[in-house]
């Protein structure tokens, strides 16, 4: 018996006997665990490669059949522990690039700086003023240092007032890019590159860290080059070229060594941030599934998972400390020996008699200039640790910005990716024409689906789990691209069609804002009478009694106040207030009791809201006229529903096919072949 260990998100570990080489379109390699390829497969701990232990065995041969799996002996302790870590969600994706102070860092850093200096951001003017003040301050330092012939450092803590503007500029830019229609779903659920983990952490935490680091070093980046140039000139003017040449040589060597020590820290900082993100995500899931964990008595397992994730984070932090230690020693040594170098530069000409003709005051000035030039160089070296952290944060934030830009470019090319978006028709029907859909992994879900959803005609979509019912709705809503075919939407699709998911989003806010969601700016236009009316239609009379103030701002209390069924009723309350022409319901009543479920569809009938419903509840067929059935293998068929228990049509024909067209097609049944073309599908028009 061998065990398949894979790192894909939808994979499962199963014990099975090795019987073949190809399964499900994926190439698999069956290897003895003692063979050389398995020994050389990438099974490393986080401490060794800055990632938690997980298995990522790669094929030695190129293949076009998809990922290559390696069968390993499950009794192997290393493999079992690695699989355990991966099952707990602790595996940090292996990065396809290393993070260093190189051209890519400069490119990403420039991308971030362009955001920060773009008008109307106030950060450029604030930092220009701050830099001017610091230059003036350094001028005072120079003259104060020359008068008493002593070295003074009067630079204090710089003004940090610009920090909020840095933070705000980056965060708002990412919000504009990240929270766009359809893009958010694709970032989190579909096409975000596997290297870009935890985009929420990168926006909320990494932006703050990179802004704070920039605040600390930006003044030095502006001022130090000016000061080095000025004091180099003064030192050369007073003492000749020997002193500046020695100082430059010393710090050039120090810079080369510093660069070598920084590069490993960048990788370590990057993976430490990844480990922090997974640790935080794990605790967020505990909060989300607290009740399920309690019912399952899974607290011990949760504790083990949390401890393992914390150990991964701790090893990552220790790795950063270990790699920063040599750099810290170097910066301190450079600063210490730099001070000695200043005295050596002065001592040599003094003992050689070069300065015998100079008065003591001039020698004192030369000493001050040499020491302050050395000090400025030592400040550059001391910035190395901040630079290493900045490079790590820049790599993470730059990755996110590059991925968002790539997805934005794809979204702009809607004629290829989402052809249905550009073919709006004059009526209000939704027409699928030979549409083929595939999962993000490339597995076909529905082949050559041809059907017209007409307003006024309720349609229910049924089929086994994973057959592609929700995938059809995602394609209709523009969340999934069509592999081929076309979806033709009405011109007023956004306004006339409302999607109601299985798990509705309950944002923070007042009860009035819950009803108005997602158009929160319309909340002031909703009267108390409207709130009471739609809540009673949705059978949420308890909220009318329990909530005294419809404008009281609740935070996370909503998720505690509302059961899953009541959350679904809240979504219907929004629907009843909006009163669209068509409601697309994706298991939108699965958590309700049967009387409430029936009441929701009856109210839709009374309000003339057509329903396109995905459900496993066969009792709901009585509220529909047409049924689309998917077989889970790419095939499909559609037919009218006979002996409806309810009224599936409302007779409203503000839209849809004309009456003669409905009569001609009312009895037509269509089916789609499993092989994407064996049977030609025809429209079903009612």
Q: Which range is least confidently modeled, 110-119, 223-232, 446-455? A: 110-119
For residues 549 and 358, which has the higher predicted lDDT (pLDDT)? 549
pLDDT, tens digit, 9 for 90 and up, residues 231-271:
888 888 777 777 888 888 888 888 888 888 888 888 888 88
Most confident of 139-148, 317-326, 393-402: 317-326
Strand partners, 436: 484
For residues 664 and 534, which has the higher predicted lDDT (pLDDT)? 534
Residue 620 DSSP class: G
- 132, pLDDT greater than 80: no
Query: Using CA atoms, how far apart are residues 392 and 533, in angstroms rounded to an integer?
Result: 54
Confidence bin at 534 (pLDDT 50/70/90): very high
Most confident of 197-211, 285-299, 402-416: 285-299
- 397, pLDDT greater than 70: yes
Strand ranges across the sheet with 459-462: 497-500, 582-586, 610-614, 459-462, 626-630, 636-640, 670-672
For residues 539 and 82, which has the higher predicted lDDT (pLDDT)? 539
pLDDT, tens digit, 9 for 90 and up, residues 152-180:
332 233 444 444 555 566 666 666 665 66
pLDDT at 591: 92
- 42, pLDDT greater than 60: no
Find the mean pLDDT for residues 525-537: 94
What share of the chain in percent tops pLDDT 70? 62
Handedness of CA 380, 383, 387, 393 (dihedral sign): negative
pLDDT at 257: 87
Contact 520, 574 (CB under 8 A): no
Give the residue from 145, 163, 165, 146 showing the smallest Cα distance to 154.
145
Confidence bin at 540 (pLDDT 50/70/90): very high
- 474, pLDDT greater than 90: no
Find the mean pLDDT for residues 494-518: 89
For residues 585 and 42, which has the higher predicted lDDT (pLDDT)? 585
Neighbouring residues of 348: CB distance < 8 A, sequence distance ≥ 6? none
Query: Using CA atoms, how far apart are residues 605 and 602, in angstroms rounded to an integer?
Result: 5
pLDDT at 357: 76
- 361, pLDDT greater than 80: no
- 428, pLDDT greater than 70: yes
pLDDT at 572: 96
pLDDT at 147: 40
Find the mean pLDDT for residues 451-474: 90
- 276, pLDDT greater than 70: yes
Q: Give the pair of three-digit tokens for residue 411.
A: 């979204």
pLDDT at 185: 62
pLDDT, tens digit, 9 for 90 and up, residues 588-623:
999 999 999 999 999 999 999 999 999 998 899 999
Find the mean pLDDT for residues 291-313: 81
Torsional class of 25: left (φ above 0), alpha (ψ -120 to 50), beta (otherwise)? left
List, in order of start, the domains of the chain with CATH numbers.
Answer: 2-87 (no CATH), 103-410 (1.20.1560.10), 417-502+583-672 (3.40.50.300)
Query: Using CA atoms, how far apart are residues 671 and 650, in angstroms rounded to an integer?
Result: 26
Confidence bin at 2 (pLDDT 50/70/90): very low
For residues 592 and 406, which has the higher predicted lDDT (pLDDT)? 592
Find the radius of gyration of the CA atoms of the chain.
Answer: 33
Confidence bin at 72 (pLDDT 50/70/90): very low
Find the mean pLDDT for residues 41-54: 37
Contact 268, 319 (CB under 8 A): yes
pTM given for the model: 0.56
Task: Tell me the pLDDT of the chain averaged across its residues.
Answer: 71
- 206, pLDDT greater than 90: no
- 9, pLDDT greater than 80: no
Neighbouring residues of 162: CB distance < 8 A, sequence distance ≥ 6? 122, 123, 126, 127, 130, 215
Cβ atoms < 10 Å from Cβ of 76: 17
pLDDT at 624: 93
First to last CA, the chain: 56
pLDDT at 594: 92
Confidence bin at 453 (pLDDT 50/70/90): very high
Q: Which range is least confidently modeled, 62-71, 408-417, 565-574? A: 62-71
pLDDT at 79: 41
Confidence bin at 184 (pLDDT 50/70/90): low
Look at strands 459-462 and 610-614 and give their pairing. parallel
Q: Which range is least confidently modeled, 19-28, 201-210, 231-240? A: 19-28
Contact 388, 324 (CB under 8 A): yes
The three-state secondary structure class of 299 is helix
Confidence bin at 532 (pLDDT 50/70/90): very high
Give the residue from 562, 550, 620 showing the smallest Cα distance to 587.
620
């Amino acid at each position: 018996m061998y065990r398949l260990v894979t790192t894909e998100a939808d994979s499962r570990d199963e014990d099975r006997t090795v019987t073949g080489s190809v399964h499900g379109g994926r190439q698999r390699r069956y290897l003895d665990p003692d063979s050389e390829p398995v020994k050389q497969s990438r099974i490393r701990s986080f401490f060794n490669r800055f990632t938690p232990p997980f298995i990522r065995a790669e094929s030695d041969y190129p293949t076009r059949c998809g990922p290559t799996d390696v069968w390993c002996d499950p009794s192997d302790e290393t493999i079992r522990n690695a699989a355990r870590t991966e099952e707990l969600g602790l595996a940090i994706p292996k990065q396809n690039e290393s993070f260093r102070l190189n051209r890519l860092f400069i490119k990403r850093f420039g991308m971030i700086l362009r955001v920060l200096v773009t008008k109307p951001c106030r950060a450029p003017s604030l930092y220009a003023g701050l830099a001017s003040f610091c230059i003036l301050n350094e001028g005072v330092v120079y003259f104060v240092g020359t008068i008493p012939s002593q070295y003074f450092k009067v630079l204090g803590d710089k003004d940090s007032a610009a920090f909020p503007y840095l933070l705000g500029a980056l965060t708002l830019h990412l919000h504009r890019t990240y929270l766009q229609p359809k893009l958010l779903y694709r970032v989190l659920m579909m096409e975000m590159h596997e290297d870009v983990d935890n985009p929420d952490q990168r926006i909320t935490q990494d932006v703050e860290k990179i802004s704070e680091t920039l605040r600390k070093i930006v003044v030095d980046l502006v001022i130090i080059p000016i000061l080095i140039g000025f004091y180099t000139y003064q030192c050369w003017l007073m003492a000749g070229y020997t002193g500046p040449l020695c100082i430059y040589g010393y710090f050039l060597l120090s810079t080369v060594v510093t660069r070598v020590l920084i590069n490993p820290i960048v990788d370590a900082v990057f993976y430490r941030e990844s480990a922090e993100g997974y640790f935080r995500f794990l605790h967020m899931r505990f909060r989300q599934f607290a009740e399920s964990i309690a019912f399952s008595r899974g607290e011990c397992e949760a504790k083990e998972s949390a401890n393992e994730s914390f150990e991964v984070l701790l090893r990552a932090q220790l790795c950063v400390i270990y790699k920063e230690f040599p750099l810290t020693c170097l910066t301190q040594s450079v600063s210490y020996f730099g001070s000695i170098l200043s005295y050596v530069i002065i001592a040599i000409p003094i003992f050689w008699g070069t300065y015998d003709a100079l008065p003591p005051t001039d020698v004192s000035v030369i000493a001050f200039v040499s020491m302050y030039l050395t000090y400025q160089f030592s400040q550059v070296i001391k910035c190395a640790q901040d630079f290493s952290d900045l490079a790590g944060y820049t790599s993470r934030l730059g990755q996110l910005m590059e991925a968002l830009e790539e997805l934005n470019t794809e979204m702009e090319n809607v004629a290829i990716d989402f052809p249905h978006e550009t073919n709006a028709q004059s009526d209000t029907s939704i027409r699928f024409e030979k549409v083929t859909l595939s999962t993000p992994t490339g597995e076909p879900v529905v082949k050559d689906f041809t059907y017209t959803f007409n307003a006024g005609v309720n349609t229910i979509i049924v089929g086994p789990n994973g057959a592609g019912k929700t995938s059809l709705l995602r394609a209709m809503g523009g969340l999934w691209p069509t592999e081929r075919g076309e979806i033709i939407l009405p011109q007023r699709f956004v306004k006339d069609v409302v999607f109601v998911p299985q798990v509705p989003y309950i944002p923070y806010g007042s009860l009035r804002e819950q009803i108005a969601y997602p158009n929160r700016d319309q909340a002031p236009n909703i009267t108390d009478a409207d709130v009471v009316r739609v809540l009673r239609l949705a059978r949420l009379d308890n909220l009318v009694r329990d909530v005294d103030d419809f404008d009281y701002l609740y935070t996370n209390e909503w998720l505690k106040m509302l059961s899953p069924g009541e959350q679904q009723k809240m979504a219907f309350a929004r629907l009843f207030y909006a009163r669209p022409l068509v409601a697309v319901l994706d298991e939108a009543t699965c958590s309700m009791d049967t009387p409430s479920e029936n009441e929701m569809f009856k109210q839709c009938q009374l309000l003339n809201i057509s329903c396109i419903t995905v459900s496993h509840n066969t009792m709901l067929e009585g509220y529909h006229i047409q049924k689309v059935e998917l077989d889970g293998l790419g095939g499909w068929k559609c037919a009218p529903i006979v002996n409806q228990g309810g009224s599936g049509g409302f007779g409203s024909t503000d839209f849809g096919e004309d009456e003669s067209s409905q009569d001609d097609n009312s009895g037509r049944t269509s089916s789609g072949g499993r092989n994407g073309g064996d049977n030609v599908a025809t429209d079903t028009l009612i």
